[in-house]
Structure 1
Amino acid sequence: MKFSKLVLPGVTMIAATYGLARFSFGLLLPEINQSLNMSDFISGAVSSLFYLAYCLTIVLSTVMTTKEGPRRMILSAGLAAFTGMLLMGFTPNVWLLAAGVLLAGGSTGLASPPYGAAISLWIKEEEQGQANTWINSGTSLGIALSGVGAMFLAENWRMTYVIYAVLTFLILIWNFKAIPKDEQRSTLSFKKGNLSILGVSGSSTLITASLALGISTALFWTFSRSFIEASGDYQQWQLSFFWVIIGLFGVLGGFSGSLIEKKGLTFAYRLGSLAIASASIILSITPGNWLLSYAAAGIFGSSYIFLTGVLLVWGIRVFITNASLGIGVPFLLLAVGQVIGSLLGGWSIGTWGYAVSFMLYGLVGIGAALIGPKQ
């Protein structure tokens, strides 16, 4: 199969599910809070549903992809993102918003495993690494796009979600035409691996580190934009550009593989963990300074994508006989940590305020750096 025929629609689907359906919520949250009269605790609880849905759907998607191939799950991801954002755009209350959040958040878990399978089925072996890198970059593209959209539409967050839903529907049609049907699959067959994570050397450290990193990053994803808006005299375009920077600098995270080769997995993990912790700490100290706030956004965006690459390599090395488990375990635990982090984050902000909460979450990130893989 031609490289671009699979990769280009894959990039856009990841951009739609991760960037538009999932991570744009934090950018639009202040307007949503004001419109629906949500407290910080309710905001954190609703935000945690993104990660909870991801945890459930990534397991479902892995199982179903193994049984049926990737096409159905890829199309289900697009449909879930489209429906979820449409519900969010037309919601009259918090309850329907939460339903939309569940669908939008679930779309990310549905999308991740099948594209890995699709690449292994239809892309030449020597091009598979490049294909995975390009498709993963869709997250940064979607985040940047959501930031640009918010520059013009943030005050009308409902219209923003409707436009995102229409774009996602067009992307869904593209993938419907591009992804081969089941009967066109190659002779490669999916085989169920050993799904046990107990007793595997290094698995407990990987799980703990992924969980800690998930907790430490949840506050930044959900409340960073609200924090700087409440702390400084920012214009609307400056608040949106904060999000654009997160997305644009996320592209730099793609260099994690080459750094691991040169400096080793332990060095790369600790560097990424300390960098992402520093982003929250910098923001906690200087939220009203636009230059340092933008620097924190750039550090966070690049180190988050960087760390997902590091966890990917670490997981595959731990579960060396089952690469799919090596991918699924750290990403699942990262999302579980973000569920916990979002729930606690809303309560923490309501109790101690933004600055103290961001500092505490930065310290959690520093703690995660101490857990990393052995040489």
Structure 2
Amino acid sequence: MPTATHRLTRTVLPGAAMIAMTFGLARYGYGLLLPEMQAELHLSADAAGLISSGAFLSYLAANSLTVWLTAKRGPRWALGGATGLAVVGMTVVAAATNATSLAVGVVVAGAAAGLAFPPYADIVEVEVTPARRALAWSTISSGTGWGVALAGPIAVAAGQSWRLAWLVFVAVAVGVGVLAVLRAPARAAIRPRRVELSWSWFVCPRSGPLLVSAVLIGLGSSVWWAFSVDALREAGIAATPARIAYAVCGVAGILASLSGTVFTALGLRRGYVTSVVLLTAALVLLGTGTNLALALVAAVLFGAGYNAVVAAQGLWSAVVFADRPSAGLAAVNTALTIGTIVGPTAAGVLVEWSGYPAALLAAAGCTMLAVTRTPPAG
């Protein structure tokens, strides 16, 4: 009989690795390698923004599919599907010869995260004791930071060979995906309560603040993921330091694995507001700063703030949607994705009109509005 610690470990480690791969590599690797891909494939800023929004749209579709797939087939099918999408999509990106083929690969790879994230809401509820769920969930959701931290050095080592970087990402995806599928509980272990998944179940007075908050965070944060490296390059920072700043963002995101403990000490509401303020400050700094030192500070604030906000929304969702955690988290991710679909496209247009600082400051305004929608005090 596995001990509580063993069950926590076999849930958290594969979970964090899967989120690192699907988010940090398959989804956010696009922003990291965008300058080199733009130069070779002749992409404009607004075209790059449209491709990024397309990836978020595919994420939204996969996020809806995973509710049915997890309920009918169990988490292993969802995680296996996520691995397949990540591998195929990133392989297509690595072989892209024009904007169209790049867009296809980015859109397919972006869908992987939509299948991978929601099942862990059910897995944590089944495998982890209540006292350790905040720690488990914050660690799994901070996997994005691990992925970004890994992607940065790979991109630096690859240099101008962005295709090589994507192929390394593919190799990582295969190993991580196999581990996650093998470690996921069987379908029989996941027994969601029988509730009717209707519009009124997803959107109600209790869920309204959470969903609005997710949209606002998606609007602001997506601009960072899509354009931060490009903005640093435009400000005169060389390619390698810009990628290092991106990697620093990932390393700082790992700190969010401690946010479950912080939320327990401060309360979810205070922890959430603090995280949103850090996220906003990062976008302001990147929008107003013109040197590497400020960029590194912004990267630390964004990495810690973004991953902490995602962890807080996951814990908040588990309370609001306690009857079906994975379906509830899919609803939150859908709201987040609505923001991330609009964000890069709008930012790409704003960049063409007014430059990167204006786009980043507008993104900061969106995230700051999220402090008007907070978890309940209890």
TM-score between both structures, scaled by the size of structure 2: 0.90
**What letter corresponds to residue 309 of structure 1 in structure 2?**
A
Percent identity between the two aligned chains = 27
Where does residue 207 of structure 2 map in the other structure? 203
Where does residue 219 of structure 2 map in the other structure? 215
Where does residue 25 of structure 1 map in the other structure? 30
The DSSP-based 3-state class of the residue aligned with 2:28 is helix
Where does residue 232 of structure 1 map in the other structure? 236
2:325 to 323, 326, 333: 323
The DSSP-based 3-state class of the residue aligned with 1:172 is helix
**Structure 1 residues 207-216 or 169-178, which shifts more?**
169-178
Over aligned residue pairs, what C-alpha RMSD do you find? 2.2
What does 1:88-99 correspond to in 2, within 5 Å? Answer: 88-99=93-104
1:58 to 53, 59, 63: 63
Give, in angstroms, the shift of residue 80 of structure 1.
Answer: 0.7
Alignment CA distance shift 1:256-1:193 (3 Å): farther
Q: Measure, in 2, the Cα distance between the counterparts of 1:128 and 1:263.
A: 16
Give, in angstroms, the shift of residue 126 of structure 1.
Answer: 6.0
Where does residue 272 of structure 1 map in the other structure? 275
Give, in angstroms, the shift of residue 170 of structure 1.
Answer: 2.5
Where does residue 337 of structure 2 map in the other structure? 335
Alignment CA distance shift 1:16-1:344 (3 Å): same
1:350 to 349, 352, 356: 352
Asked if the contact 2:135–2:261 (Cα under 8 Å) also holds between the matched residues in 1, the reply is: no
The DSSP-based 3-state class of the residue aligned with 1:281 is helix
Where does residue 314 of structure 1 map in the other structure? 316
The DSSP-based 3-state class of the residue aligned with 2:347 is helix
User: What are the superposed Cα offsets for residues 19-52 of structure 1, whole Å, 9 maximum, x if unpaired?
Assistant: 1111111110011111110111100000112211
User: What are the superposed Cα offsets for residues 180-213 of structure 1, whole Å, 9 maximum, x if unpaired?
Assistant: 655xx44x52344232353632322222221111
Where does residue 82 of structure 1 map in the other structure? 87
- Mark the runs of 5 or more structure 2 residues left unpaired by the alignment: none
What does 1:127-138 correspond to in 2, within 5 Å? Answer: 129-138=134-143
Q: Does 1:109 align with 2:114?
A: yes
Q: Does 1:284 align with 2:287?
A: yes
**Structure 1 residues 277-286 or 204-213, which shifts more?**
204-213
Alignment CA distance shift 1:216-1:124 (3 Å): closer
Where does residue 251 of structure 1 map in the other structure? 254
Give, in angstroms, the shift of residue 118 of structure 1.
Answer: 3.5
Where does residue 163 of structure 1 map in the other structure? 168
Asked if the contact 1:200–1:319 (Cα under 8 Å) also holds between the matched residues in 2, the reply is: no
1:242 to 229, 245, 249: 245
Q: Measure, in 2, the Cα distance between the counterparts of 1:99 and 1:314.
A: 34
Give, in angstroms, the shift of residue 123 of structure 1.
Answer: 5.4
Give, in angstroms, the shift of residue 60 of structure 1.
Answer: 0.5
Give, in angstroms, the shift of residue 179 of structure 1.
Answer: 4.1
Q: Does 1:370 align with 2:352?
A: no
**What letter corresponds to residue 232 of structure 1 in structure 2?**
G
- Mark the runs of 5 or more structure 1 residues left unpaired by the alignment: none
Give, in angstroms, the shift of residue 176 of structure 1.
Answer: 4.6
Asked if the contact 2:90–2:167 (Cα under 8 Å) also holds between the matched residues in 1, the reply is: yes
Q: Measure, in 1, the Cα distance between the counterparts of 2:12 and 2:211.
A: 30
Alignment CA distance shift 1:255-1:5 (3 Å): closer
Q: Measure, in 2, the Cα distance between the counterparts of 1:282 and 1:129.
A: 30
**What letter corresponds to residue 239 of structure 1 in structure 2?**
A
**What letter corresponds to residue 53 of structure 2 in structure 1?**
S
The DSSP-based 3-state class of the residue aligned with 2:192 is coil
User: What are the superposed Cα offsets for residues 155-175 of structure 1, whole Å, 9 maximum, x if unpaired?
Assistant: 111111112112212223334
Q: Does 1:303 align with 2:305?
A: yes
TM-score between both structures, scaled by the size of structure 1: 0.91
Asked if the contact 2:138–2:259 (Cα under 8 Å) also holds between the matched residues in 1, the reply is: no
Q: Measure, in 2, the Cα distance between the counterparts of 1:349 and 1:138.
A: 30
Would you say how many aligned residue pairs link Structure 1 and Structure 2? Answer: 370
Give, in angstroms, the shift of residue 62 of structure 1.
Answer: 1.6
The DSSP-based 3-state class of the residue aligned with 2:69 is helix
Alignment CA distance shift 1:311-1:5 (3 Å): closer
Alignment CA distance shift 1:192-1:143 (3 Å): farther
